[in-house]
Amino acid sequence: WSVGVAIGSSQMGLGLGEYQLLSEAEKQKAVLAAESAFLSAGADFTIASMKELPDLVETINDLLQQGKKPGVK
Protein backbone atom coordinates (compact mmCIF):
# COMPACT_ATOMS: atom_id res chain seq x y z
CA TRP A 1 0.00 0.00 0.00
CA SER A 2 1.28 3.46 -0.81
CA VAL A 3 0.64 6.41 1.46
CA GLY A 4 1.29 10.05 0.65
CA VAL A 5 2.14 12.17 3.70
CA ALA A 6 1.36 15.82 2.91
CA ILE A 7 2.95 17.92 5.65
CA GLY A 8 6.71 18.04 5.20
CA SER A 9 6.61 16.43 1.78
CA SER A 10 8.60 17.64 -1.18
CA GLN A 11 5.27 17.72 -2.98
CA MET A 12 4.06 20.43 -0.61
CA GLY A 13 7.37 22.24 -0.96
CA LEU A 14 7.36 23.85 2.48
CA GLY A 15 9.56 23.25 5.48
CA LEU A 16 7.85 22.77 8.82
CA GLY A 17 8.61 26.34 9.91
CA GLU A 18 7.18 27.72 6.68
CA TYR A 19 4.09 25.54 7.03
CA GLN A 20 3.53 26.66 10.62
CA LEU A 21 3.51 30.31 9.52
CA LEU A 22 0.55 29.73 7.19
CA SER A 23 -3.01 30.63 8.17
CA GLU A 24 -5.34 27.69 8.84
CA ALA A 25 -6.98 28.24 5.44
CA GLU A 26 -3.58 28.24 3.70
CA LYS A 27 -2.55 25.07 5.58
CA GLN A 28 -5.73 23.31 4.51
CA LYS A 29 -5.25 24.39 0.90
CA ALA A 30 -1.62 23.21 0.88
CA VAL A 31 -2.52 19.82 2.41
CA LEU A 32 -5.38 19.28 -0.04
CA ALA A 33 -3.17 20.17 -3.01
CA ALA A 34 -0.46 17.73 -1.90
CA GLU A 35 -2.99 14.98 -1.22
CA SER A 36 -4.58 15.50 -4.64
CA ALA A 37 -1.17 15.22 -6.31
CA PHE A 38 -0.38 12.02 -4.39
CA LEU A 39 -3.69 10.44 -5.40
CA SER A 40 -3.16 11.46 -9.03
CA ALA A 41 0.24 9.79 -8.88
CA GLY A 42 -1.35 6.55 -7.67
CA ALA A 43 -1.18 6.67 -3.87
CA ASP A 44 -3.64 4.30 -2.22
CA PHE A 45 -4.10 6.67 0.73
CA THR A 46 -3.08 10.12 1.86
CA ILE A 47 -2.64 11.51 5.34
CA ALA A 48 -1.86 15.01 6.46
CA SER A 49 0.87 13.97 8.92
CA MET A 50 2.58 10.96 10.45
CA LYS A 51 0.31 11.33 13.49
CA GLU A 52 -2.43 9.76 11.35
CA LEU A 53 -0.35 6.73 10.35
CA PRO A 54 -1.24 4.37 13.23
CA ASP A 55 -4.97 4.69 12.47
CA LEU A 56 -4.30 4.17 8.77
CA VAL A 57 -2.25 1.04 9.50
CA GLU A 58 -5.29 -0.32 11.39
CA THR A 59 -7.49 0.46 8.38
CA ILE A 60 -5.04 -1.28 6.04
CA ASN A 61 -4.88 -4.29 8.36
CA ASP A 62 -8.69 -4.47 8.28
CA LEU A 63 -8.62 -4.36 4.48
CA LEU A 64 -6.04 -7.14 4.41
CA GLN A 65 -8.23 -9.25 6.70
CA GLN A 66 -11.02 -8.77 4.15
CA GLY A 67 -8.72 -10.09 1.43
CA LYS A 68 -8.31 -6.72 -0.27
CA LYS A 69 -5.09 -5.78 -2.00
CA PRO A 70 -3.40 -2.48 -2.82
CA GLY A 71 -4.33 -0.79 -6.06
CA VAL A 72 -7.64 -2.64 -6.34
CA LYS A 73 -10.74 -0.57 -5.71
- Look at residue 73 and tell me whether its pLDDT is greater than 70: no
In this structure, the number of other CB atoms found within 10 A of the CB of residue 31 comes to: 20
Contact at 8 Å (CB) between 5 and 49?
Answer: yes
* 3-class secondary-structure state, position 56: helix
What's the length of the chain? 73
The confidence score (pLDDT) of residue 63 equals: 95
The confidence score (pLDDT) of residue 71 equals: 77
d(Cα 5, Cα 65) in Å, to the nearest integer?
A: 24
Tens-place pLDDT, residues 15-60 = 989 999 999 999 999 999 999 999 999 999 999 999 999 999 999 9
* 3-class secondary-structure state, position 15: coil
- Has this prediction a pTM greater than 0.75? yes
